[in-house]
Amino acid sequence: MKAASGKTSPETIATNISLVLREYLEAAYDDPALFETNEEFSLRPHALQKIHPGCREPVARHLEQLSEMKYSPGAKNEQILSLVDRTDELLLQVGQNQQH
């Protein structure tokens, strides 16, 4: 995704990152985040219950940041590159801490 950052709007990249993360959560943990808006996700009382407890809050916060970026006109490429890096870190952390 970093390679596309110069050609694609930050909003589109944030949308794509969110989709990748949500697809992973759905495939690996059967979490319905893929099929929810960020508001629905954040209001679901048992969101991310199947992932390691230490990963829940960072993943939820990251999805919130991505959601904000998706609807933030004028977002900067530096911001989106930081979110790409953070996504990589979170996917690695969640994968290393699988509970099942």
Residue-by-residue DSSP string for 63-78: HHHHHHHHT-TT--HH
| Residues 37-76 pLDDT 10s | 888 988 988 889 999 899 999 999 999 999 888 887 776 7
Q: Which of 4-13, 17-26, 55-64 has the lowest mean pLDDT?
A: 4-13
Average predicted confidence (pLDDT) for the chain: 85
pLDDT digit string, tens, across residues 53-62? 999 999 999 9
Confirm if 22 and 64 have CB atoms less than 8 A apart.
no
Domain extents for the chain?
A: 3-96
Q: What distance in Å separates the CA atoms of residue 27 and residue 49, rounded to the nearest whole number?
A: 14
pTM: 0.81
pLDDT category at 97 given cuts 50, 70, 90 is confident
Q: Which residues contact 4 (CB under 8 A, 6 or more apart)?
A: 13
81 exposure class (CB count in 10 Å sphere: 0-12, 13-18, 19+): middle
